[in-house]
Structure 1
């Protein structure tokens, strides 16, 4: 399996876990930045607070990724203006700073790392 294929597979399971773990008993989840509520698989993304473009170190960090509607995540570039207050309430300034520091480091994933992430989040999905 190619590294890129394994990464996509891991992301698919991780993203589904993020959205479903925040959903209510009926499968509805709210965007953390605008409050829009939809089914977890209806135009909802797993959006990064610190953009994934800043490095792999925060790509699969649960505290950095939360449910967002596609509009906020894609068309509004993550809607940072509204994401920050959510993060501040959830993790405090020290939690945000930890993520910022982590994002400045490098994480080099191997094929096995991605496959392990896939298995981990597939298992967590089974437990939901």
Structure 2
């Protein structure tokens, strides 16, 4: 995405930590919108239908430990609060259902990419924020 000087100026004075939080907020909002329909969603792990109010943007490979796939749409799916929080991601079921959803090759790409580390720069984060704001419209 090509960013205009005006767009970049909008974030002047904002630190990396603010931009990272904002990028995560907008990205997670997009994931919730993408994976829900009529106020409900199907959890990627337990496959139960639940109200959107119980939905998390659950990462297959955790965002904290695997920075390179933090904003990878194939790595993040609608997941219920129970699976994401109380079952620590319910990763065995998550992986099985993720393979059904995006295919083994895509899961393998996530697994190999997640070993890389990403150092977030201001322009990258601004681009992520603006991209996902656009996708939410």
Answering whether residue 24 of structure 2 is matched by residue 11 of structure 1, we say: yes
Q: List per-residue Cα deviations over 1:46-70 (Å, max 9, x = no partner).
A: 0001112332100000000000111
How much has 1:119 moved relative to structure 2? Answer: 0.7
Aligned counterpart for 1:90 among listed residues 95, 101, 119: 101
CA distance in 1, matches of 2:65, 2:129: 22
Equivalent position SS for 1:34: coil
How much has 1:93 moved relative to structure 2? Answer: 2.0
More displaced, 61-70 or 100-109? 100-109
Answering whether residue 116 of structure 2 is matched by residue 105 of structure 1, we say: yes
Answering whether residue 72 of structure 2 is matched by residue 34 of structure 1, we say: no
TM-score for the superposition, normalised by structure 2? 0.84
TM-score for the superposition, normalised by structure 1? 0.90
Contact 1:31 1:37 in 2 (8 A): yes
Stretches of structure 1 lacking an aligned partner (at least 5 in a row): none
Answering whether residue 131 of structure 2 is matched by residue 120 of structure 1, we say: yes
Equivalent position SS for 2:36: coil
Aligned residues: 124
